[in-house]
Amino acid sequence: MVVQSITGVKPGTDGASRLAARGVTVGYGTRTVIDGLDVAVPPGVVTTIIGPNGCGKSTLLRTLARLLKPTGGKVVLDGDDIARLRTRDVAKKLGLLPQAPVAPEGLTVSDLVARGRHPHQSWLRQWSSDDADVVARALAMTGVSDLADRPVDSLSGGQRQRVWISMTLAQGTDLLLLDEPTTYLDLAHAIDVLDLVDDLHESGCTVVMVLHDLNLATRYSDNLVVMREGSILAQGHPRDVITAELLHEAFGLRAKVIEDPVGDRPLIVPIGRTHVELDRLAPEL
């Protein structure tokens, strides 16, 4: 599928990070999850945050999206402290797909995607033909134009995820944050959604997402952020980051790391307890 940019602008051409956390400390109530974390999102690439359950992946993403307020440090968006920006201005620059979003019952696909234009509406600027064109392009980019009149709750999981991504695109932003976009999807639908993410990246979008499947994260990412206990353990291209030693340190996972036969990325082969002895004997077989 050939994808065109919603905004018509290729982001990140100056090489500067558009979104970064600087010394961020954040948590829930009295429990600190992330303490003094620094991370910058490279422009124009797909960044995926990985790590074991409870390490702070979604907390970091929600903080970058301004859904959580840091108790220390700050998040910077296009050079500005995101906490000082108006919500409407943030929504014009940054689109967020949360975990398992739910649409109102009976809402059609086109109506849901049109809600992405709300940040651009005001008393002085009502719905226009330009908004309709943006919504049409967003539907086309995600391959759901033929579903425009269908209720969202009648769609399959993969179709719904495409529609929600379409809504974030209708905001007119080229910076997308996706929190576990493949959750509850079977493998075929997960690949379908990640292929779409890859298309959006090729069209000029900067994407930050959280994934649990390590091999999918490795295959579809240009930049990995590996977290453990609220800190960043490693960051960089999958070829430079993924090693058997790192997997054991981050996840307590025993694995072999080999070359992916369908790409130039590493492939992770987990070794369960019943296979430890076979792995030890492998060089002798």
Q: Of 48, 43, 15, 14, whose CA–CA distance to 174 is shortest?
A: 43
Give the Cα separation of 68 and 275 in Å (integer): 42
| Residue 283 clears pLDDT 60, i.e. is over it | no
Instruction: Please state, in angstroms and rounded to a whole number, the distance separating the CA atoms of residues 73 and 258.
Output: 39
Contacts (Cβ under 8 Å, ≥6 apart) of 114 = 131, 135, 170
Q: Is the pLDDT of residue 40 over 70?
A: yes
Of 197, 206, 204, 143, which Cα lies nearest the Cα of 8?
A: 204
- Residues 34 and 225: beta-carbon distance below 8 Å: no
Structure tokens at 139: 């539907």
Can you tell me the distance from the alpha carbon of 142 to that of 161, in angstroms, rounded to the nearest whole number?
Answer: 10
Q: Which domains does the chain have, with CATH numbers?
A: 1-89+175-190+199-243 (3.40.50.300), 95-172 (no CATH)
Q: Three-class SS of residue 236?
A: strand
pLDDT-above-90 percentage for the chain: 49
What pLDDT, on a 0 to 100 scale, did the predictor assign at position 270?
92
pTM here?
Answer: 0.83
Q: What was the pLDDT predicted at 121?
A: 59
> Tokens 């100056």 appear where?
14
Task: Specify the pLDDT at position 17.
Answer: 79
Q: Which of 74, 72, 98 is nearest to 85 (CA)?
A: 74
What's the full length of the chain, in residues? 285
What is the Cα–Cα distance from 194 to 221, expressed in whole angstroms? Answer: 10
Question: In this predicted structure, which of 66-70, 83-87, 115-119, 122-126 has the lowest mean pLDDT?
Answer: 122-126
> What pLDDT, on a 0 to 100 scale, did the predictor assign at position 101?
81
Give the model's confidence band at 173: pLDDT under 50 very low, under 70 low, under 90 confident, else very high: confident
pLDDT tens for 106-116 read 899 998 998 88
Asked if 9 and 175 touch (Cβ cutoff 8 Å), the reply is no
233 pLDDT above the threshold of 70: yes
